[in-house]
Amino acid sequence: MLRWRIVLGALLIAALVGLLWLDALTTPPGAWMFFVALAIGLAAAQEVVALFAVAGYHPLSGVIYGGTLLVIGSNAIPLFFRPVPDDRPLERLGWPLLAFAASLIAAFVGEIRRYRQPGGVMVNVALVSFAVAYVGVLLSFSLQLRVLGGPASGMVALVALLVAVKLGDIGAYTVGRLLGRHKMAPSISPGKTLEGAAGALVFGCLGAWFSLVCGPPWMGSSVTQPALGWVAFGVAVSGAGILGDLAESLFKRDMGSKDSSSWLPGFGGVLDLLDSILFAAPVAYLCWLLGML
């Protein structure tokens, strides 16, 4: 299984590098990332619906799929059709917020149409809202990072997120296997340890240094980062990634499932690959907005 994880991990990294390279060559910036985000969001939404079904919940799956696509798709308006000045980045998030509100209204409309007797309605509405927010809204921050500060700076921001989070995941897995002794949350994820979490923070900082100090010249950016900036970014983003991983483990355990899917042997499903990024993306976005970088 470890050998398969290494091989599949290398293939996924190569595919990601190729995608980023294509996106860097495309006008407008973010075009490739946008369509990939739609596909990933739809796959992740399907896994969320499947997890609900395992636990016996049956919210309106069509609203979950449509709402997720609507929220992610709404990012195209400020990115491609009605560009927002770089000094007003928060305005771009208004469109995903409107799409999320529309999804919530659609959930109520759907429950009104199928209502027969009391019980379960508000649970279904809450589950739809959770699914659309968890996948669609959180994933939108990754798309917004791609254009934050301009094409070149946006690529640096997105790469810094991905490298710091995924190196953090590698650090947690490696250090946890080699040195892990103290369980971090045994009732939620018995394999995660405090030593692994420390490894995630260290590797996350290394990823932040590589992507923010060494990487910008390769991506056409002349931005330089002070040591305090990339260290704080690495700790904040990899820490959020740890929390995102635990949150998905909590979700799966509460639903009574070990993996969100089995289509990626050794990794699980799309949510298992995406969980740390979903929580880290808004934290990374906030770091840039606050001027830490």
Cis geometry, peptide bond prior to residue 265 (ω within 30 degrees of 0):
no
Number of folded domains that form the chain: 2
Q: In terms of residue numbers, what domain contains 182?
A: 1-27+150-293
Same domain, 72 and 160: no
Same domain, 281 and 160: yes
Token pair belonging to 180: 């892990």
Closest CA to 244 of 280, 282, 286, 207: 280
* pLDDT higher at 161 or 91: 161
Same domain, 168 and 226: yes
Average pLDDT, rounded, for the chain: 88
Strand ranges, E, within the chain: 183-185, 189-193
What's the alpha-carbon Rg for the chain, to the nearest Å?
19
Which range (107-116, 189-198, 214-223) has the least confidence?
214-223
Same domain, 125 and 91: yes
Same domain, 176 and 202: yes
Q: What is the DSSP letter of 219?
A: G
φ, ψ at 9 (rounded to 5°): -60, -40
Judge if pTM exceeds 0.95: no
Same domain, 188 and 273: yes
Last residue within a domain, chosen from 128, 145, 162: 145
**Single-letter code of the amino acid located at 222:** S
Same domain, 208 and 254: yes
Contacts of 25 (CB under 8 A, 6+ apart): none
pLDDT tens figures, 240-286? 999 999 999 999 999 988 777 666 666 678 898 899 999 999 999 99
pLDDT tens figures, 182-197? 899 888 988 899 999 9
State the SS3 of 92-112.
Answer: HHHHHHHHHHHHHHHHHHHHH
pLDDT for res 263 = 66
Length of the chain: 293
Same domain, 43 and 22: no
Closest CA to 126 of 173, 63, 190, 75: 63
Question: 118: alpha, beta or left, given left = phi > 0 and alpha = psi -120 to 50?
Answer: beta
Closest CA to 230 of 262, 253, 208: 208
pLDDT reading at 217 higher than 80:
no
Same domain, 19 and 39: no
| Cβ atoms of residues 33 and 23 within 8 Å | yes
| Cβ atoms of residues 222 and 216 within 8 Å | yes
